[in-house]
Structure formats: structure tokens, C-alpha cells
Structure 1
Amino acid sequence: MIPVTELRGAIPIGIAMDLNPIGVYIASVVGSTLVSIPLVLTFRHIMQFLKEKGLFLKLLNKIDRKIHSGMKRMKQVSIFGIILFVGIPLPTTGTWTASAIASILKMRIKDAFIGVLIGNMMAGIIMSLLSLHII
């Protein structure tokens, strides 16, 4: 659940500690995914607070205009985008950043959660295989 490392750090550490790789995978995916719901809600409140206080108003309005102009297309590809974004295990492409993106795109919580879950499952498999020296 910790930003930056998330399951990308938990899986190699757990496997290096000789823990059960399947248990490490499941715990890492569940732990990293569950935090996405409160994060999306928190980021939404932060954006609303910034708008009310007039902070970064030009930037927030520009983002809102972009989102509203391509809303239909964005709704269709946003889940897949979140899946790919989280599923590629690189630094800063985890649950925290994906939750911020989902809140900026005004995704439904369910869609954001599904995207993060599937992405975390993919990243977890990749990290597990790398940690076990299979790939």
C-alpha cells in the first residue's frame, strides 16, 4: 500500500524472505488494490477543495474542458488505460497514481477499482516471475 513501492517492492522482498510466492502475490495484489477506493475518493475531495479555494483554477478548468470534450471516447478506453498503466511494473505507475488519474478523469469507482485490480494482477505476475528468476 505504500506509495512508490506498492506490490513492485513487496513481491521481491517477500520472495527474498522465502515466503510462499502465491501468498505474497495474493497479499500484495489485495493490499495494493484495496487502497484504490479511498484514494480515488480522497483525490476527488482534494480537487473539489482546490476548485473551491481557487487554487490552480486555470489548470483544473483546462483539465475539465479536455475531459468533457472527449468524454465518450475517454469512458471507453479509460479502464483499459488504467489496466495498462498499472499493469506495467515501472516506478510511479501503481495504484496511487492510477487513482489520481481515475479521479481526474471522473471515472466511476467501480471502473477504477476493476482497472486497478486487473492491472495489479498483471504487475504482480510480472514481478513474481522476475523475482523467481523465471523471466
Structure 2
Amino acid sequence: MSRSNSASSAGYMPSFKDRKSFPDRIRMVQEIQRQQPDKIPIIIERYNTERNLPILDHCKYLVPAHITVADVMQIIRRRLALHPDQAFYLLIDEKSMASITMTVGQVYEMEKDKDGFLYIVYASQPAFG
């Protein structure tokens, strides 16, 4: 994956929340929900202290509510071009790990942010902190 962004090649990328204002994020979600009401708006970013895994080429995803967290992990694994043996972990809203059998819709209803996005971070270590 080519990364032309100098911030990402340096290993640091400001978070989506840092790059977009709260009102802008709310407008984005409202537009997404108007155009694609059956999709869940997700922001997937690398954990802020993670250095072993690459940064995804983009962070905004729209996924069907019925897919599982395991399906999301497969999407991330494929986009990061990870070796099948390389482990990584997902943290929902920087506070909890969701069961891989839960649907994205279930996680969204429990953990969506005030702006309407579901925030997920990924890291190579299970201990976040």
C-alpha cells in the first residue's frame, strides 16, 4: 500500500476527531444515514501508541449492520496486508474489546459516539495503556 501522506509515513496521523469538528462529523453521519440508512458509519484508526502495524489508507467505512466484528477484523487484516499469523486487536471507542461474534449493528447501538460514528482502533498488543 502506498502512503503519500507525509504524516502517515512518519508514523503519526492526527485522529479523525482531531481533523474534523464535532458539527462536521454530525453532518457527515446525517448525510450517510440519509443516503444509506442500512449502513453503519465506522471510523477505524491505528491506536495512538501503536508502531508495529501500518496506518490504513483511509479511516471511514460504511458496513452492513449484519456483519460481525470478526468480518471487520478480516477487512482490516486484508487492508493492512498482514501475515495470517500476525495478531492484532480491536478496541471499541478506546475502552473495550467487542466479542467477535457480535454484529456491527449490535456494537453500534451500544458504543456509538455522540457524533454518530462508531470508533474502532487497532493495535498489535492486547494491553492498551
Q: Same fold (TM over 0.5)?
A: no
Structure number with larger C-alpha Rg: 1
Bigger strand share: 2
Specify which structure has the bigger relative contact order, considering alpha-carbon pairs within 8 angstroms and separated by 6 or more residues: 1
Normalized per residue, which structure has more helix? 1
